[in-house]
Every structure is written in C-alpha cells, then in structure tokens.
Amino acid sequence: MHNSKLYSILQNFNKSEQNRCRKYLQSAFFNVNQTLVDLYDLLIKDINKPGHEGNLGKESIWKKLSLNQPYDDIRFRKFCSDLLKLVEDYLALVVYQENILLQTTLLIEAVGEKKLEKLYNSVMKDARRISEQAKLKDADFYLKQYQIEKNYYNLTKYETKRTSKSNVEDIAKNIDSFYFSEKLRIACEVLSRQNLASYDYKISLIDEIVKHVNSPEFESVPSVMVYYQIYLLYTELENEDHYHRLIELLDKYSIYFPEEAVKDELYMSAQNYCIRKINQGNQNFLKELFFLYQTLIKKEIIIANGEISPWYFRNIVVVALRLGEYTWTEDFIIKYQDFLEEDFRRNTVTYNLAQLYFYQKTYGKVIEQLRNVEYEDVTYNLNSKAMLLATYYELDELEPLYSLIDSFSAYLNRHKDIASDKRKDYFNLIKFTKKLLKVNPSDKKALEVLKQEVQATKRLASPNWLLEKIAELE
C-alpha cells in the first residue's frame, strides 16, 4: 500500500493539511461515502505512526474498515480510486481558494452562463478592484485579465452592439502580454539549457516577438520587459549594458513575480551571466556577483520557506572570500547559519568556516575544523580533503600530508560512484602535489615544466593554488 499514488500523496501532508483534507472529505457536498473517510483515517494513522514503514496491507485495511464481507480486491481498488480522486480534487480546491483572480474569473463566467444580469456590474467592479490590488504581475496575471475582459465582452453582448465601443483592445493587449511573456520566458529557458547541453529547440515566432516587444506599448508590462532583457542577456553576451539594465528592472519589478521565479529564474539568469564573465577572465563581475548575493540576502530572496540552500550558502562564502571580504563572510556565516536545514547545518558551517580560515592563513583553525569531520555529501568531502591537503602543505606538515594523500587516493579508488571526471580532478591534484613536494626549487627548468603541465591539464582541482605554490618556488 505504501507504494501507491494515494499513500505517497498523503505522506506529503503536514498535520494541518491532514485535518483540512479530512474536513473536506466529511463535507456532504463533496462526499457521502463514510467508508472513504474511514479509509483516509486508517492511512493517515499509519503515516503518523512513529517509525512506521508503510507496511499496512490491503486485507488488513479491509478488515479494519468493518465491512463484514470477505476481502474483495476489485471493490477495495474502487475505494482507493475514489479516495484518490477526492484528494486530488481537494488539492485543486486549495489552489483555487488561494487564487482570488481565478475565483473572480470563474465567477464572471458562471454569471454569464446563468445570465444573471443583475450581477454583471457588481462582479466586474469586484474583478477590476481585485486586479488593481493584485501583488503579482507575471504572465498568469495577464492571462486572467484576458479572461476577465473576454467574459465582460460576452456579458455585455458587444457582439450585438456594433455601434458601441467595445473592450476588444483590452482583450488583445492582455492576451499579447501573456503570450509574449510566456514565449520569452520559454525562449530564455531554452537558451539557458543550451549552455548545458546542445539540444536543438525550435521556438516559433520568437524573432517576430522580440522585434515587436521592443516598443513603448510593453514598457508597463513587467513580465515582458524582464524576460525580454534576459533574452538579450543570452543572445548578446558581449553587451554588458544588457546586464546592468536587467539589474535595474529586477530592482523595480521583482516584487511582481512569484518568489520561486525571482530566485530560480530571474536573479539566477543574472548570476549565471556574472559567472560566465568571470570564467572568461573578467574579474569585475566577481564584484557584481557579490553585489547580487548581497541584494538576495537583503531582500531575503534566498530564504525559501525559512531556509537557505547549503549550496547557495557556500557559493556566497566563496565569492566573498575571493574578494577578501573576510569580516563580512564571518558575520554572514554566524548570522545566517540558523537558516540552514538542521541536517546540513553542522557540516555547512564547519566547511565554510574552514574556508574562511584558509583564506586568512590561520591554518591551525582549518585543521581544527576539518580533521575529524567526514562529510556525508561527496562534494563537501572532496573539497574538504583538498583544502586539508593544501593546509598541510602550507604548514610543511609532511607526515600528515603524505598520510592524507594515501587516504585521499584510497577514498577516490573506493568510491566508484563519483563521476569519472570528478575523480580525475582530484587524482591530478594529488599527482601534482606529490610533484610539488619533490621538485627542487633551484631547478628552474623542472619548475617551468611542472607549471606548463599544470596549465595544460584540463581536469584538475585547485589549479590556481598549485600555480601559486609553483610561483613561490620560482
């Protein structure tokens, strides 16, 4: 039973959602079958049981339903199917209740279908008031506006009043705003994906849309303006003005988008542009990226459901440290550590403090942070071992360094699940660290050969650190 779709959905309900869904099932308007309520209660009781493994069997459930009949698999499956449909309807109802514009749109449609003429003016007045007060002005907002205006057109029978001025311009403007916003958003998603994999996507009419939206007509439509600017960012990479214009638009319009889109689409596009520029050697964008992170922190955009992703946390720390913002970094780690999910908090804080101490060259503190920590996450584990290796080298602690080299090599050989390219990165780091230990500082030719070898190696962890250590020996 625990592998069923119904059970997996109910497992994701918190206590409040469990109670609300039960009230829904008890409503005679939606359900008149008490057996379905009893089945729901049995499943929820099993889910809430401490240490449960979800092993409640079908025949066991049937018996507890007190149907006083032999087990009937067809009938039992029907109960489960009916309950699943009710739970799915409940989920849709929750979304409906939270979307007041959707409610208004459907109400106008219902009033029109029933020809309730006395309600025409009041429902439209409410619709326009709710639209004016709407916090979000994303593509979905304009779709709702299109539906409202279209329903209003139908309510007032403009199709039979040829001499009256209708609202067809509003209908057209809203559907254009929705359509262009979504087309541009999808085009930006495609361009983003093509940076990772060379799939060939065809987005019809995108060139025509790009030409059309670059006009004063859409300057008041946030979703069109923002996605148009992101599109330019992807298609005209060398024009840095597009980046700065995007930042201006995000500062002005980000409040009109859902939080998830702001973090994972809009600001992520800006971050990816910065990273691309940094990788091309433009270090000015390291400061831009740091400024972006500060903006995300100030606006609490990176805090989703009261939590910060440990990867976001780490990326922020890395950028700040590369800029020498040591005091800021320490304050950030201390202030925002409580926003990390508890399961990841200790490892994330330990690792990032170690990074801070490494940059500050307080190597004794690095060892204190890392020596006795075995991270569950493979990436953290690899990075921490690489940092510890560099720390022992900096301290000229040869015995623990060679011991770590042996254990690090054994770790890479043991964990075949680590991607081959990633394993190659760290095997090469170990190889060049050994060569670094053996090279004679007075042998300038050997140092030059080692330097060229490091520079020519494509798969290599910590290449900048290795080149820095070679330069110190030259």
- Looking up tokens 């030259």 gives 474
Kindly report the CA angle at 134 between 131 and 136, in degrees rounded to 5? 125
Structure confidence at residue 379 (pLDDT): 84
Longest dimension (CA), the chain: 96
Closest CA to 367 of 376, 377, 359, 357: 357
The H-or-E segment that residue 456 falls in is: helix 444-456
Give 241-304 as a DSSP string: HHHHHHHHHHHHHGGGS-HHHIIIIIHHHHHHHHHHHHHTT-THHHHHHHHHHHHHHHTTTT-B
3-state secondary structure of 340: strand
- The domain locations on the chain are 5-98, 374-474
CA 381, CA 185: separation in Å to the nearest integer? 37
Structure confidence at residue 472 (pLDDT): 92
Structure confidence at residue 66 (pLDDT): 84
Structure confidence by residue, pLDDT tens digits, 53-103:
556 788 889 989 988 899 999 999 999 999 999 999 999 999 999 999 899
3-state secondary structure of 12: coil
Say if CB 428 and CB 457 are below 8 A apart: yes
Structure confidence at residue 51 (pLDDT): 64
Give the pTM.
0.79
Structure confidence at residue 204 (pLDDT): 85
Structure confidence at residue 162 (pLDDT): 61
State the CB neighbour count (10 A cutoff) for residue 164: 9
Query: Could you tell me the CA-to-CA distances from 173 to 135, 203, 209 in Å, in that order?
Result: 20, 22, 14
Low-confidence ranges of the chain (pLDDT < 70): 1-2, 51-55, 158-164, 195-199, 372-374
Query: Could you tell me the CA-to-CA distances from 338 to 94, 310, 376 in Å, in that order?
Result: 31, 11, 20
Tokens of residue 303, six digits: 């805090």
Structure confidence at residue 372 (pLDDT): 64
- Looking up tokens 């060679």 gives 402
Structure confidence by residue, pLDDT tens digits, 15-62:
999 999 999 999 999 999 999 999 999 999 999 987 655 567 888 899
Say if CB 305 and CB 291 are below 8 A apart: no
- Looking up tokens 């043991």 gives 414
Structure confidence at residue 276 (pLDDT): 92
Structure confidence at residue 56 (pLDDT): 75
Structure confidence at residue 296 (pLDDT): 93
